[in-house]
Amino acid sequence: MENIVFGIGITALTGALATVAGSAEDTESNIGSQGDPNSQVQLAPQMGFLHRIFNKAVAGEPPAYGLWCALGAGLAWAFMAMQVNAILAIVLGCILAVFVQGVYATTAYLGRTASLAKFGQPVYVDIIKSMTTVTMAHAFIAIFCTVALCQLINGALGHPFPLPLLALIWGIALGAAGSATGNPYYGKERQYQNQKFGAGVPISASGNIVRYAEAGERNSIDNGFFTHKIGGSASGICFGLIVFLEIWRTILFERIYAGWGAIAVGVLMILIFTVIDRYIEVWARKNYGPYTVAKEADA
Amino acid sequence: MSAVAAKPQAGGAINPTAMAVGVVLLIIILGACWYVSPNLGLTALIGVIVGGVLIGFGTHFVPVGGAPAAMGQAPGIATGVAMLAAGAGLAGLFGGAWAAELGTTVAVITGGIGGGLMMAITCMMVNFVYVFGMGIPAASGKVLHDPITGDSQAEYKSQGTEGHGLPFVSFVGGVIGGILAGAGGTLIYLALLDLYKATFPTMMGATHAQVLPVAVSVAGMFAVALFLVNAVLTAYNITGTIEGPHDPKFKRWPRAIVASAVASALCGFVAILIVVKLPM
């Protein structure tokens, strides 16, 4: 019984860490335009819309976070092998991993923006100075939370995988969940704030991203502030639910019927999410209605 | 032939010669494995190939919209094919590896359910953001009616787009893809773990308990690597985006099955060669 209570406590803690990690990951990627919306940031100068948006996308979020989390976890593991306290080891490992992220962000921005020189897009040195540190701070939160939850899974819950491998797996899953959930909100709702609410961006508007703020030109910290409220929170909830429910069903139900209990609970949860998804879909169709009359659309 | 006269390339045509070459390559690799390790090695390789094929096939179900989906210009999840499949499958592998001691069947199904659960949560949250964050209903660009619910799609597409969000059939496709990918990744891990647990003690001159952490780590790394190989290979077959099982691109899966089988066989053979003595 004590083991189960301890397991539930650790599970709750990993879920909380994952929620913070997901939220920080999405905000970091939005400030750096690392998700799929980077295509518009890259396209805008080619269409004649010069901007001051930070763009550090040279890899997708999942492999990038897989690398940074595995790097942080590997270094933390090495520090722990040198008898350094676990918390200090994770902090040190993550700090070193964040420096790699900073180098990546700087070279990516310089490379991507320099390639747009023929369209007149300048490389802004002040953007590197002000944005890179902000993305590094958010990346530190995301990497630290992910490595910490992997340490809990490995050390407290006894998962067989070593810490760096767990961090690689959950880093990739973090990037996948964060980019899947957060990208549309940044790509459509923020970059194309000048388009109609409640509709997708017409393909003909591609590249015409919003470049001006209430005062002066819009910068990427504004974007992070805006997207964090819904995109970041949704990404955090998404990754938090994934980590929490995956561990929760294992800890509580794996001993029932030699593993079949956890499988049954997993199937039940998939069915519950399916019903919720269908409810959301039908709710939107009923409340928002169609864009055109059905006959016209079929024709 | 001028560019105008050239036939448009569908990109989905099955090339029988290439498929035959793939099958021959697969047989050659299997034969080579049977030659160097007829029992343990061959069993592990078959497990790796079946796992790889499951990943390759499962990735076709995952609805991925890439960059256009991030602007609400196309349906699907706004990320890359390989990355999303890897995220779901590796989450499954995590659960499957945890359940390894409960037997192959339970572990593989647990891995599958882990991948399916990850996709179910992600797909639900994608629709949540589209509907409640952006006020956009789900609509498919490839079919007039959802094949599962029968809901009409065309009038729910906003002007100038190919659709947006995840219609129900795409959600179901995502969950099926996650289940297959998670089960495949776990099967590869278990196949290699059994091989390494049997061969490492002799090779390293250590006890089973001493080699277990090394065996788990090496099998886990190969499973992750093989996962990425198959997911990326399938992404090339899909070429960009896919809405799910109702998308015409889904019909390309036979090509990916052969390619995944050959790639998994070759990579799996390398994973086997590190522990098997070559008969000289």
| Predicted confidence (pLDDT) per residue in B39-70, tens digit | 889 999 999 999 999 999 999 999 988 888 88
pLDDT class for A50, splitting at 50, 70, 90? Answer: very high
Query: CA-nearest residue of chain B to A299?
Result: B154
Per-residue pLDDT, averaged over B159-168, amounts to: 90
Query: CA-nearest residue of chain B to A270?
Result: B117
Between chains, do B129 and A231 touch, taking CB under 8 Å as contact? yes
Residue A85: Cβ within 10 Å count: 11
Which helix (H) or strand (E) is B31 found in, with range?
helix B16-36
| Predicted confidence (pLDDT) per residue in B90-145, tens digit | 888 888 888 888 889 999 999 999 999 999 999 999 999 999 999 999 999 889 99
Between chains, do B102 and A254 touch, taking CB under 8 Å as contact? yes
In chain A, alpha helices (H)? 2-31, 38-46, 61-81, 86-114, 125-151, 163-184, 220-227, 233-253, 260-288, 294-298
Query: CA-nearest residue of chain B to A162?
Result: B217
- Is residue A262 within 8 Å of residue B109, measured between CB atoms? no
Residues from chain A contacting residue B91 (CB–CB below 8 Å): 169, 173, 242, 246
Single pTM value for the model: 0.93
Residue B205: Cβ within 10 Å count: 9
Residues from chain B contacting residue A199 (CB–CB below 8 Å): 72, 136, 158-159, 161
β-partners of residue A217 are A212
Q: Which of B59, B84, B127, B129 to probe by mutation at the A interface, max A CB count within 10 Å?
A: B129
Token pair of A196 as six digits: 């109609």
Domain ranges of chain A: 2-253
Q: What is the dihedral of CA B260, B262, B264, B265, to 10 degrees?
A: 160
Amino acid identity of A117? A
B10 pLDDT above the threshold of 70? no
- Its ipTM equals 0.94
In this predicted structure, what is the pLDDT of residue A28? 94
β-partners of residue A212 are A217
pLDDT class for B29, splitting at 50, 70, 90? Answer: very high
- Is residue B53 within 8 Å of residue B44, measured between CB atoms? no
Domain ranges of chain B: 51-273
